[in-house]
Amino acid sequence: MPELLDIGERAIISRLMGRLDPDGIRMLGDDCAILEMGDYYLLLTTDMITRATHMPEGAKPQDIGWYAAAINLSDIAAMGGEPLGMLFALGLPIDTASEWLDALYSGIQECCDQYNAPILGGDTKENSNLTISGVAVGRVPKGHILRRSGAKPGDILAMTGSLGRGLLWERNKSDAEKLLRVEPRVEQGITLARSGAVSSCIDISDGLSTCLHLMSKASQIGFEVEESVLPMVPGLDAEEKELAIHWGGDFELLFTVRPEMADKLFSSMPGITRIGRVTSDISVTIENNGTSQPLEDLGYEHFGEEGKA
């Protein structure tokens, strides 16, 4: 019988989704779960972090708290949602200092306040490995919701921000704050949703290459990416820029734009970059200096033998 290490995170998710929603009625598989709520969809998402996998040595509790909130809000942003609130469940070692816990909640509160997501409650339990599980709740008008599916051949591929923040920290490992102070693109997600120009969207948490393959599968289309125009954080060398395409932890929005509305969107919204286009072939390729080659799905995956974020 195969162990989880043998099949990897995405196969585990697919396996569980097949049991939870065998007929596809619940439409699972996006950044958030959705429930109908009058003229809106209620958005619900949860993300968990642990000391072993997400908290660098020397990280300040305030920054860990911010991160735990921000990564959940990033999922709300990816679907064009307005945050409504958050809950947090904490698994704490018995020797955790009360001052450390106060600082952790200060970071959580700071992030929630900045993005108008009040803390609604939660739970605490004793646990040998520090674990923080966040739940974010949001809403989006039914006509504005952004999903991973919906892209059509000819659409423009674009993203917010830049790639490589996690990789840059991995190289220097000098300041965990730079890694953990994620900025969820809530305002940009709402703007993209209201524009009517965006046909699909996802947040880049596990690497650009992985997200492209997830969107390709969701819409049954392909992508051609122009490597020369990919926005990168300053300070990466040529080899690191190649790695940044697969590295996790960017939490930017990756989206497709209807071509007839692209110019208006790009002229009115700063901080977004055209990086390619949607094709009819169900494949993901990357072009550099006139040469096109397949872009493999090499992003971060839990339960894999190697991790990059």
End-to-end Cα distance, the chain = 28
> What is the chain's mean pLDDT, rounded?
89
pLDDT of 64 strictly over 60 = yes
Supply the pLDDT for residue 18: 54
For the stretch 9-49, pLDDT in tens is 555 455 555 555 555 544 556 899 999 999 999 999 999 99
pLDDT of 306 strictly over 50 = no
Q: For residues 210 and 224, give the distance between their C-alpha atoms in angstroms, rounded to a whole number.
A: 14
For the stretch 105-156, pLDDT in tens is 999 999 999 999 999 999 999 999 999 999 999 999 999 999 999 999 999 9
pTM of the model: 0.89
For the stretch 247-293, pLDDT in tens is 988 999 999 999 999 999 999 999 999 999 999 999 999 998 889 99
Supply the pLDDT for residue 14: 54
Q: For residues 226 and 160, give the distance between their C-alpha atoms in angstroms, rounded to a whole number.
A: 15
Q: For residues 224 and 241, give the distance between their C-alpha atoms in angstroms, rounded to a whole number.
A: 18
Q: Position of tokens 């958005």? A: 43
- What is the set of domains in the chain, with CATH numbers? 31-143 (3.30.1330.10), 147-294 (3.90.650.10)
Of 91, 90, 201, 95, nearest in space to 140 by CA: 201
Q: For residues 217 and 282, give the distance between their C-alpha atoms in angstroms, rounded to a whole number.
A: 8
